[in-house]
Amino acid sequence: MKLFLAADKTTYTPREPITFTLRAVNDSSNPVRLSFRTSQRFDLFFQDAHGREVWRWSAGRVFAQLLGEETLSASGGQRRFQVTVEREFSRGVYTVTGMLPALEGGLSARTTVTIK
């Protein structure tokens, strides 16, 4: 199983919306089942150049407290999540991490964006 995170661009102005695509791909020859404790299927967070978390997609959101599953079919099955972040960020370089909070072990992927 592999996780990929991509932004629609690499450089933004402080108030420009940023669209991210988080894609989980099953690279095995067997279906993969992911189990979740809540209705939350992904998360996304920004860290500044000092490693401090400055924004998290899930902060302040409420998720249904119910168990759930996602199954990715064998050999290339995918699940895709897309989110647009509309927030003003200070100028700088940010590390952005996307993750799946699956019970089988958290999968994560990173990318960087620059705010100029």
What is the mean pLDDT for each group of 10 consecutive residues in the chain (116 residues)?
96 97 96 95 97 97 95 95 96 98 90 98
The label of the residue with tokens 């500044």 reads 48
Residues linked to residue 42 through DSSP beta bridges, in sequence order: none
Structural domain of residue 57, as residue ranges? Answer: 2-115
pLDDT of residue 17: 98
Please state, in angstroms and rounded to a whole number, the distance separating the CA atoms of residues 17 and 14.
9
Q: Domain containing 43 — which CATH number?
A: 2.60.40.2360
Q: Residue 14: count other Cβ atoms within 10 Å of its Cβ.
A: 12
pLDDT of residue 106: 72
Please state, in angstroms and rounded to a whole number, the distance separating the CA atoms of residues 68 and 83.
21
Number of structural domains (the chain) is: 1
Q: How far is CA 101 from CA 10, 11, 41, 91, in A?
A: 26, 28, 7, 29
pLDDT of residue 116: 96
